[in-house]
Amino acid sequence: MIFSDFFKALGQLGDARFRRVLLLGIGLTFALLFAAYAVILWLVNIFAPDVVTLPFVGEVRWVDDLLSWGSVLLMIMLSAFLMVPVASAFTSLFLDDVADAVEDRHFPTLPRAVRVPFVQALQDTLNFLGLLIVANALALILYLIFLPLGPLIFWGLNGFLLGREYFQLVAMRRIGRQGAKEMFRANLPQIWLAGALMAVPLSVPLVNLLIPILGAATFTHLFHRLNSKTPAASVV
């Protein structure tokens, strides 16, 4: 059933609202990375000495240039590490648009969902972004200790985080924040599995940029499928 949810989402990839969220997420991600690089370069230019005197060598005048080039390499590595978490977080900011597009096509009889206020959505996005970055940074230690299990750790960790965030954001539009948390706990294994399947393609360059959009759509289908089996849940 999870694969059915995914293929329904995949079939709607050409939707104009999907493309809009995709372009916004990628654009904001690159803007944030460039801003971070500008700050690093500014700090290098301020604090890097123009001349360093070394024993037996004398004056070295290219230290600041070396640090500047080093900052470029640092940002390349950071972009590879941060691109997916940042893009995923920014996509969650515009998740309402993706969920609305799915519901308009596949659940046209439903009333319009209650949209999360922008300030609250922004706060949730920043919290999610911070959690993703910190969790993945700490997981680097586990990757090094259990090197052969690195991919499984990555998929399991990000599958849980992405599944929890995206499912709850979709669900709270219909059953409120508390109802979304309760429904997540009641269906944790299935949601975690869906999140892990979403996390697997995150390791594939370029393809990984599409995954947040497909994930938001997939979890919209997943929510409605689970909710249809839960008569006690009230859909608004």
Q: Is there a domain that residue 192 lies in?
A: yes
Q: Is residue 140 part of a domain?
A: yes
* Cα distance between residue 53 and residue 223, in whole Å: 64
The per-residue pLDDT for 62 is: 46
Whether residue 40 is contained in a domain is answered as no
Give the pLDDT score at 77.
Answer: 60
Longest dimension (CA), the chain: 80
Sequential DSSP letters for the chain:
-HHHHHHHHHHTTT-HHHHHHHHHHHHHHHHHHHHHHHHHHHHHHHHS-S-EEETTTEEE--HHHHHHHHHHHHHHHHHHHHHHHHHHHHHHHTHHHHHHHHHHHH-TTSPPPPPPPHHHHHHHHHHHHHHHHHHHHHHHHHHHHTGGGHHHHHHHHHHHHHHHHHHHHHHHHHHHHHHHHHHHHHTHHHHHHHHHHHHGGGGSTTHHHHHHHHHHHHHHHHHHHHHTT-TTSPP-
The reported pLDDT for the residue numbered 14 is 87
| Residue 45 domain flag | no
Instruction: Give me the average pLDDT of each 10-residue run along the chain (236 residues).
Output: 88 89 80 73 61 46 51 59 68 86 93 84 83 84 84 89 91 93 94 90 76 90 88 50
Confidence (pLDDT) at 59: 47
pLDDT of amino acid 141 = 85
* Residue-level pLDDT at 144: 81
Q: Is residue 65 part of a domain?
A: no
CA distance 139 to 158: 10
Report pLDDT for 57.
42
Residue 52 counted as domain residue: no
The total domain count for the chain is 1
pLDDT of 119 reads: 84
pTM of the model: 0.77
Burial code (b: 16+ CB inside 10 Å, e: under 16) for 52-87 equals eeeeeeeeeeeebeebeeebeeebeeebeebbbbbb
pLDDT of residue 63: 47
Residue 61 lies in a domain: no
What is the domain range of residue 102? 2-28+82-227
Identify the pLDDT of residue 58: 44
In a domain, 221, yes or no: yes
